[in-house]
Structure 1
């Protein structure tokens, strides 16, 4: 993991935004810049995982030459490549998780009791977004409406704009009643998820029964 941050980064309770759009990030550089500029404009401390794949050099060049790194160094941690996501999400300073809604990230965000800002990119991620926002009611979407087929990103260009990201972050992390209610629901859901994997919990018992069935099949 390669990271960049100024020493002495101060992290308040539930004040930090964590942005990670997954291992197979295929969004345009122009879209990533839009995200970066909004994280900067939010005035909140943030962790941003940058996985631009074949565009990695281009985004790193923009970060340096645009002055973004210098302007945000007192409140930003930029991570190039892999990040210890569950460790980050479990920290009490983390207040909002901006994610592509991959199933692993969705489970990690929910288990850690964090409100989620949803940015689905492809496949089942749009269904996961609906569960997060409409069923569990522990998140807000940035407004992505459809899947862009890999290789055709240039045709559609920027789909999510600063105002959309800013609004979603504000709803999840703001001081109003809506934000507080969402954070409380996320924390309760996280507690429920943790109890499910403890001894005697529903996930614990289901896994135990599954292992017993496999053993029986092997014996027979």
Structure 2
């Protein structure tokens, strides 16, 4: 990933786990981008105006945060439902570019490696110029608008949450009433 990010020529912020993070970073790498070790406020970062794309492992929380931020994404699934989430981003919503991960394996495991050139190419497709990249960014912004509408008063997610709360309160009232009547 480090070599692919570096080769893309775009500025980047890369968040690494605090444990053994120095093993992942080539010498001189931090002069080309920003590396954060440990926890970082992902939502704040994704919603910052300087951020133009997001490399994601396609976990559901990251997918929804990227969509809500209106960002095109480089998709790098590792395991579980992440491969399905990648298909949603790349083939259905069309805001993602696959980095080429096809095998259910953690990084470093046999079959789980992705070449630096594949990372570079995916980052350039997301961050670069041209009609395809512009259309991907346009779709990402449209998805963000739809996501905002869904959680506003009267939106689908807002109404679904309201209905759930109403149903739970009704069930609670039934239980209380049922217990008192016995």
Q: Normalized against structure 2, the TM-score is what? A: 0.89
Residue 163 of structure 1, CA deviation: 1.2
Q: Computing the radius of gyration over CA atoms, which structure comes out larger, 1 or 2?
A: 2
2:104–2:112: 8 Å Cα contact kept in structure 1? no
Question: Can you list the C-alpha shifts for 1:26-85, whole angstroms capped at 9, x where unaligned?
Answer: xxxxxxxxx111211222111101127xxx32x415637x2323x42xxx2211111100
1:169 to 118, 123, 127: 123
How do 1:50-129 residues align onto structure 2 when only pairs under 5 Å count?
Answer: 50-51=16-17, 56-57=19-20, 59-61=21-23, 63=25, 66-69=27-30, 71-72=31-32, 76-129=33-86
Name the SS of the counterpart of 1:117 in structure 2. strand
DSSP-derived class of the 1:114 partner? coil
Tell me: CA distance 1:82–1:123, structure 2 relative to 1, closer, same or farther (3 Å).
same
| Number of the residue aligned with 2:11 | 45
**1 CA distance for matches of 2:6 and 2:100?**
20
TM-score by length of 1: 0.75
Measure the CA separation in 2 of the matches of 1:192 and 1:112.
11
Q: Report Cα offsets for 1:83-116 as digits up to 9, x if no partner.
A: 1001111111111100000000000000111001
Say which of 169, 172, 175 aligns to 1:218: 172
- In structure 1, the partner of 2:2 is 36
Q: Which has the higher strand share?
A: 1
Assess, with a 3 A threshold, how the Cα gap between structure 1 residues 170 and 61 changes in structure 2: closer, same or farther: closer
- Specify the SS of the correspondent of 2:55: strand
Deviation at 1:157, TM superposition (A): 6.2
User: Alpha carbon RMSD of aligned pairs, Å?
Assistant: 1.7
How many residue pairs get aligned? The number is: 174
The residue aligned with 1:209 is: 163
Q: 2:180 maps to what in 1?
A: none
Distance (whole Å) between structure 2 residues aligned to residue 100 and residue 83 of structure 1: 16
Given the superposition, is the C-alpha separation of residues 155 and 206 from structure 1 closer, same or farther in structure 2, using an over 3 Å criterion? closer
Relative distance call for 1:194 and 1:79 in structure 2 (3 A) is same
Unaligned runs of 5+ in 2: 175-182
